[in-house]
Amino acid sequence: MLLQNKTAAISGAASARGIGLATARLFAAHGARVAILDIDEAAARQAAAGLGPGHIGLRCDVADKASCQSAADAVIAAFGGIDILVNNAGVTQPVKTLDIDEASWDRIQDVNTKGVLFLSQVFIPHMQARGGGSIACMSSVSAQRGGGIFGGPHYSAAKAGVLGLAKAMAREFGPDRIRVNCVTPGLIETDITGGKLTEEMRREILRGIPLGRLGDAADVAGIYLFLASDLSAYVTGAVIDVNGGMLIH
């Protein structure tokens, strides 16, 4: 039990096969009280109920500061404080540079990057008041290798922005004993691809993975657990690859 008596908020944790819900299940199994924050309120409530008693599911659009603030207020009212924040919510889109319109650029930046800032801003003061905390942020191998997996260049840019933001927050809030780290998964089998991952794309990606399989949500949940727990007490500003060896260099 690595998270006994800890409280955690996880964004983008309502989708059934997603990384966020796999993480919520693992955190709950390790003793944490979990708040599932998702733009899909009904799914968030249902997912929280599925974790057992004591957990909560709330609507939160991470790209909207007021929505983040009300979610944080509700989490603090329910749990009394927060130890762990997982900035996991994200959206992607498989388009090429010349096809990115302004609305798509804004949507991808808003959810993937601005959402990390907003949700961190509303929870950090509570972590400061508690004397510390752990924030884990979702980036992607797309940030490191310039896409070439599924998401377009705007997704690579947004997820690269998360790396810079998280490292800067790690520096700024280290003195408050708040650790901030990132995960950079390769292709994980969830519904984020919305049925647009073709068999040919899949075969091509598999050719570049030494471990010979795509990832699953539990592979990433395990890294989030490590970053949330005291096992990583002296780790901050780190980026942990979860990609089957796709980026060995």
Question: Is residue 88 at the binding interface for ligand NAD, with CB under 6 A as the rule?
Answer: yes
Question: Is residue 11 at the binding interface for ligand NAD, with CB under 6 A as the rule?
Answer: yes
Which residues are bridge partners to 134 per DSSP?
Answer: 84, 179
Question: Is residue 156 at the binding interface for ligand NAD, with CB under 6 A as the rule?
Answer: no
Q: Say if CB 182 and CB 137 are below 8 A apart.
A: yes
| Residue 234 annotated in active site | no
Q: Which is nearer to ligand NAD, 229 or 243 (CB)?
A: 243
Whole-angstrom Cα distance, residue 172 to residue 175?
7
- Of residues 155, 159, 185, 193, which has the active-site annotation? 155
- Contacts (Cβ under 8 Å, ≥6 apart) of 66: none
Q: Which is nearer to ligand NAD, 91 or 127 (CB)?
A: 91
The angle at the Cα of 245, spanning 240 to 248, to the nearest 5 degrees, equals 85
Task: Output the CA–CA distances (angstroms, integers) from residue 153 to 52, 116, 201, 248, in the order listed.
Answer: 39, 19, 17, 21
Query: Of the ranges 26-34, 187-195, 203-211, 229-237, which one interacts with ligand NAD (CB under 6 A)?
Result: 187-195
Q: Which of 89, 124, 178, 223 binds ligand NAD (CB under 6 A)?
A: 89
Question: Is residue 192 at the binding interface for ligand NAD, with CB under 6 A as the rule?
Answer: yes
Q: Which of 39, 136, 157, 246 binds ligand NAD (CB under 6 A)?
A: 39
Site mask, ligand NAD, residues 115-154, x = CB under 6 A?
Answer: -----------------------x-x--------------
Q: Say if CB 193 and CB 144 are below 8 A apart.
A: no
58: tokens are 């709330």
Q: Which residue is nearest to ligand NAD (CB)?
A: 90
Main-chain phi, psi angles of 88, to 5 degrees: -105, -20
Whole-angstrom Cα distance, residue 23 to residue 216?
11
Strands in the chain per DSSP E: 7-11, 33-38, 56-59, 84-87, 133-138, 178-185, 239-242
Q: Which is nearer to ligand NAD, 56 or 187 (CB)?
A: 187
Residue type, 179: R
Question: Is residue 72 at the binding interface for ligand NAD, with CB under 6 A as the rule?
Answer: no
Question: Is residue 190 at the binding interface for ligand NAD, with CB under 6 A as the rule?
Answer: yes
Q: Which is nearer to ligand NAD, 174 or 240 (CB)?
A: 240
| Minimum distance, C-beta of residue 176 to ligand NAD, in the bound complex (Å) | 25
Q: Say if CB 158 and CB 112 are below 8 A apart.
A: yes
Q: Say if CB 137 and CB 184 are below 8 A apart.
A: no
Question: Is residue 106 at the binding interface for ligand NAD, with CB under 6 A as the rule?
Answer: no
| Interface with ligand NAD in residues 12-31 (CB under 6 A) | 12, 14-15, 18-20
Q: Which residues contact ligand NAD by CB under 6 A? A: 11-12, 14-15, 18-20, 38-40, 60-63, 88-92, 111, 138, 140, 185, 187-188, 190-192
Cite the active site residues: 155
